[in-house]
Structure 1
Amino acid sequence: MTKIAVLGAGSWGTALANTMAKNEQDVTIWSHKAEQAKEIALKKTNARYLPGASLDSNLKATDDMALAVQGADIVLLVVPTKAIRQVAKQLGTILEEKRQQVVLAHAAKGLEQKTHLRISQMIEAEIPAEFVTGLAVISGPSHAEDVVKGDLTAISIGSTDDAAARLLQAALANEHFRPYTNSDLVGSELGGALKNIIAIGSGMLIGKGYGANAQAALLTRGLVEIREVGKALGAEGETFLGLAGIGDLIVTGMSPNSRNYRAGVALASGKPLAQVEEEMGMVIEGVNTIKAVVDFEEEFDLDLPITRTLYQVIYEGKTIDQGINDLMTRPLKAED
């Protein structure tokens, strides 16, 4: 049995913690909200993030991070990108006080605003390396709502440390949840972050009444842009043809369970971004990530017409209809 602390009790953190608890691992989930931790611990529900779901009786919960982490072999961070540094810093202090070494993993999908750092880079900046025996990222096509119901799911665990990846793989694997491993941490993180941008565009198309042809075209050409950014930042191109790339893009870009997709649909209806974010009640990672990718386009001299057009629509007032027309009437070219 592996002892695991999951930091973050949103929908995805809860679904991952529940999966490992069902596998008879020793799992404690941490929430910064005492009432939420109490609900998970006593009622085995998380009504706000996973309404109607019943959680495994083995799952423990607390609002005391030090208690959650005590004796853990694996610590998994599943909080929004904007909270990563704060949580990692608090965790680093705890590990240093306890002189405790752990395998660190995260399942966040975004880039830090302003610095444009990946999640693992933020974690490494806040937690001393002497307390980390391995660092991994969970990515791939996976909606929490489906995972907690036991729907068939395959994900990817990216890490340069094979032992760390396999320890996490063993803790997660069961007849409904199949984790694969890969050695491309950079590509795994970027695939998870960049697909959110394209998913917003996919939602916009559906919101405007377009069909499967338009959606398939956007996702396919969007994958080309994701791959180009990834390669410029040191990722392996092949990673984007796997679960952390095209797999995650498909599920995020086509499912109403995706908040980025739903945001695109809402924007297409004419709602302003601020209203969409308020009504969503959860972080729309693609809205912030798109700023970083537009900067990457200039820095690395890339051609990212879909991303650039979405930026213009979201932040510069271009209409969705004009954006679609601009993309469809660009100079003709060979397929990359």
Structure 2
Amino acid sequence: MKIAVLGAGAFGAALAISLAAKGPVTLWGRGQQGRTVRRLPGIMLPDNVSITAEIAETDEADALLLSLPMQALAGFAAEQASRLRDRPLVACCKGVDLLSGLGPVEILQKLGGPAPAVLTGPSFAADIARGLPTALTLACADDTLGESLQATLSTPVLRLYRTTDYIGAEIGGALKNVMAIAAGVVIGAGLGDSARAALMTRGYAEMQRFALARGARAETLGGLSGLGDLVLTCTSDLSRNFRFGHALGAGQAFDSDTTVEGAATAKAVAQIARAEALDMPISTMVAALVDGKVTLADAMQSLLTRPLKQE
């Protein structure tokens, strides 16, 4: 199966590097030039990766990995609908679309064609690019197609676990970014590791609540795409969402060129929570903090004075 990766950012480039160990890969990016990747310093794209800025050069690929920013996915899918709809598509982004409230698979489903898949889980692009062992979730409603993609995209150091619960997989990947911002705020504000552990635990309960309300399976949230990704992004400075939250908690500026998917996702989730009367206090507070609608002190006061209840 010929593979093309659409999106030459850090994660897309890392996937292309990993998959190139099995055969030729085409990597498309609008501004990609040369064999270096700005977000992966010290990493070179191997000769087995064909780099192009012409999307027509991906037309021969049997499957497409879409490694685009979540908030750009819907527009790209609409723009390239005729090119995308007849081939297996694998979304490699995490989040909830701010305009529609949809996840990546639901956006791609609108195109028709084979059931879209989502590739998600605890991973940093730099680890994948360097060939470090990584395990991810591949979720596809069509399990036969999912099995084929699992075999194609797995490598000796990139291990994929398969599920048909794409709803749970994409919600886990989306909401863990929101919780990573909150964890970063906790550490940036100097509240300590015990507070972070409490935040992660209650955040996980919030992720499950949201996912189950949308038809996901609880065990999916307990796997790589939920708990696994939550642990990674809430405890590492390599997480962009954690670093963004840390800057927010410390009252510092943050690199405006860095994509922080959790910020838009928090706003989208807060809108859904209000519309569907879901109790999502952490997500709602992160959205308010990001928008500057509450101060850090007010956010802490609001969360710490919630009624006591059973776990």
Identify the TM-score tier after normalising by the shorter chain.
Answer: over 0.9
The separation in 2 between residues aligned to 1:190 and 1:9, in whole angstroms, is 24
Q: Which AA in structure 1 matches 2:81? A: G
| SS of the residue 1:296 aligns to | helix
* Alignment pair present for 1:111 and 2:87: no
User: What letter corresponds to residue 318 of structure 1 in structure 2?
Assistant: V
Q: Which runs of 4+ in 1 moved over 6 A?
A: none
Matches of 1:82 and 1:327, distance apart in 2: 28
For 1:264, the equivalent position in structure 2 comes to 245
Query: Shift of residue 105 of structure 1?
Result: 0.8
Q: Equivalent residue for 2:5? A: 6
Measured on the aligned residues, the alpha-carbon RMSD in Å equals: 1.7
Mapping for residues 9-88 of structure 1, pairs under 5 Å: 9-22=8-21, 24-33=22-31, 36=32, 38-40=33-35, 45-46=36-37, 48-68=38-58, 70-88=59-77
What TM-score results when the alignment is normalised by the length of structure 1? 0.88
Verify: 1:322 aligned to 2:311, yes or no.
Answer: no
Are positions 1:94 and 2:93 aligned together?
no
1:201 maps to a residue whose letter is A
- 1:1-336 matches, within 5 Å, as 2-22=1-21, 24-33=22-31, 36=32, 38-40=33-35, 45-46=36-37, 48-68=38-58, 70-94=59-83, 101-125=86-110, 127=111, 129=112, 132-271=113-252, 276=254, 279-335=255-311
SS in 2 for 1:156: strand
Secondary structure of 1:39's counterpart equals coil
| Counterpart-to-counterpart distance in 2, 1:136 and 1:5 | 15
Residues 67 and 92 in structure 2, CA contact (< 8 A), matched pair in contact too: yes
CA contact (8 A) 1:138 1:158 kept: yes
Assess if the C-alpha contact under 8 Å between 1:135 and 1:164 holds in 2. no
Distance (Å, rounded) in 2 between the aligned partners of 1:118 and 1:326: 29
The letter of the residue matching 2:183 is S
Q: How far did residue 332 of structure 1 move?
A: 1.0
Partner deviation per Cα, 1:198-245 (whole Å, 9 max, x = no partner) = 110100111112322111111111011111111112211221100011
Once the two structures are superposed, residues 303-328 of structure 1 have per-residue CA deviations (whole angstroms, 9 ceiling, x without a partner) of: 12222222232224322233223322
Name the structure with the higher helix share: 1
Determine what percentage of the aligned residue pairs are the same residue.
Answer: 38
Change (3 A) 1:95 1:110: closer
Give the aligned length. Answer: 311
- Which residue identity does 2:271 align to in structure 1? D
The question of whether the paired residues in 1 share the 8 Å contact of 2:70 and 2:95 is answered with yes
How far off is 1:188 after superposition?
Answer: 0.8
Instruction: Determine helix, strand or coil for the equivalent of 1:57.
Output: coil
User: Taking structure 1 as reference, are residues 226 and 108 closer, same or farther at Cα in structure 2, changes over 3 Å only?
Assistant: same
